[in-house]
Amino acid sequence: MPVQTQLVNVVSTTDMPVLELGNRGNAVTFLQLLLVAYGFLTRDFISDEFNGRTELSVKNFQTVYRLYVDGIVGKQTWQKLAEVAAQPHD
């Protein structure tokens, strides 16, 4: 089981904070790691800051998974991130 899947399974998505441009912290880094794992962000952009690159990656994720595209990681986006982690990957 990939590390990202284990992490997402441990974290209840309803307990995750809403994240948007300008936020900082461990939840942002966790989000960025998921976006890297899913191919929406490159590793060299991981930090604890929700910056423009992170926002663009979130918007791309939201577009691909047909979510409301606003660049904000709320309940629906966290839920989809968890669902994607639970899917089998090669």
Domains with residue ranges and CATH for the chain: 3-86 (1.10.101.10)
Tokens of 43: 């590793």
Average pLDDT over residues 23-44: 95
pLDDT in tens, 47-84: 999 999 999 999 999 999 999 999 999 999 999 999 98
> What is the spatial distance between Cα 47 and Cα 23, in angstroms, rounded to a whole number?
11
Given a contact cutoff of 8 angstroms between Cβ atoms, the answer to whether 86 and 1 are in contact is: no
pLDDT value, residue 13: 66
Confidence of residue 87 (pLDDT cuts 50, 70, 90): confident
Give yes or no for residue 1 having a pLDDT over 80.
Answer: no
